[in-house]
Structure 1
Amino acid sequence: MNKWKVAFLLLITLVIVAIVSAVYFVTKPMAETPNPTVRELPNGSHLEVHTTPKDFENMANRLIESSMKTSKIPVKMYVGQEVTLQSTLTVFEMDLPITMTFEPIIEDGNLLLKQKTVEVGMLDIPPNTALKLLKDSVDLPSWMVIQPKEEQIYLNLTKMNVPVGEKLKGHVQAKEFNLKENRIILDVIIPTK
């Protein structure tokens, strides 16, 4: 057998192995991701903050940005009639924009984002696969828990430390998240000690 035939067969074999590996990686079964335990908030002064979706969006993006200093893949949150997350996934050295929309639900003071739609470039992939790719590709803050099997993202607000002063960290929990009426109410707890 001549060396060109051997090289061609080797190349074809490598391409097939790469495709099978990629398909396996994307379609392998997903383990269920439980909701994180809700942190008991400390005693302290409670401030009820009424805010708009745009102000919540600005605060969330600042917290995501400060939590993801080591990650080179940006994640942006937009809050309008629904919550939208935008990022970029790198697949086979190609950057694909990803846009996901969610319906927000309050659960124990935290925010549960139930996935409604997903767009990954021109690809038509299932929502749970898109969340799995995002989970595997992006190093998100510890308070953002992606649950691909459940097709949702759990924002553990009670785990976040919100700066309220030079050396003072507060805690936050959601009281109301009504995007149709442009009404978001957060309870900010400033610890006594």
Structure 2
Amino acid sequence: MNKWKVAFLLLFTLVIVAIASATYLITRPIAETPTPTASKLPDGSHLEVQTTSKDFENMANRLIESSMKTSKIPVKMFVGEDVSLRSTLTVFEMELPITMTFEPTIEDGNLLLKQKSVEVGMLDIPPNTALKLLKDSVDLPKWMVIQPKEEQIYFNLTEMDLPLGEKLKGRVQAKEFNLKENRIILEVIIPAE
């Protein structure tokens, strides 16, 4: 057999293996991610803060950005009539924009985002696969839990340290998240000690 035939067969085999591997990684069964338990909030002063969706969006993006300093892939939150997350995924050296839209609810003071739709470039992929790709690609903060099988993202707000000053960190929980009326109420707890 001449060397060109051998080279072609070798290259053809490598392409088939690469496609099969990528297909397996994308379509393999998704393990269930348990929902974290809400943390017990510390004793201290309670301050109720009413904000707008735009202010919440700015605060959330600052907290996500500061928590993801090691991640190369940016994740941005947009809050309007619903909540959407936008990022980019690198697939076969191509940057694909990804936009996921969610319906927000409050669960034990934490924010639960149930997925409504997903757009990954021109691809038509299932929502749980898009969440799985995001979970595997991005090093998210520990208080942001992606649950692909449940098609949701759980923001464990009660676990998050909220910087209030140079050495002071508070805790936060959601009280109301009404996007139709542009009314978001958060309770900030300033620890007694």
How far is 1:163 from its partner? 1.1
Deviations 1:82-135 (A, max 9, x none): 001000001111110000000001000000000000000010000000000000
Corresponding residue of 2:17: 17
Distance 2:129 2:72 in 1: 22
Structure 2 counterpart of 1:177, which letter? F
Structure 2 counterpart of 1:67, which letter? S
Distance 1:73 1:127 in 2: 19
Distance 1:163 1:76 in 2: 20
TM-score (norm 1): 0.99
Distance 2:30 2:166 in 1: 42
Is 1:142 matched up with 2:142?
A: yes
Distance 2:84 2:124 in 1: 18
**Residues matched between the structures, number:** 193
Identity %: 83
Corresponding residue of 1:105: 105
How far is 1:156 from its partner? 0.3
SS state at 2:24 partner: helix
Corresponding residue of 2:170: 170
SS state at 1:9 partner: helix
Deviations 1:45-84 (A, max 9, x none): 0000000000000000000010001111100000000001
SS state at 2:177 partner: strand
How far is 1:187 from its partner? 0.4
User: Where do 4+ consecutive residues of structure 1 move more than 4 Å?
Assistant: none
Alignment of 1:109-148 (within 5 A): 109-148=109-148
Corresponding residue of 1:50: 50
Q: Which runs of 5+ in 2 are unaligned?
A: none
SS state at 1:139 partner: coil
Distance 1:166 1:45 in 2: 18
Corresponding residue of 1:73: 73
Corresponding residue of 2:7: 7
Corresponding residue of 1:153: 153
Distance 1:143 1:109 in 2: 13
Q: Which runs of 5+ in 1 are unaligned?
A: none
Structure 2 counterpart of 1:168, which letter? L
SS state at 1:71 partner: coil
SS state at 1:134 partner: helix
Distance 1:147 1:170 in 2: 26
Please give the root-mean-square deviation of Cα atoms over the aligned residues, in Å.
Answer: 0.5
Corresponding residue of 2:30: 30
Corresponding residue of 1:182: 182
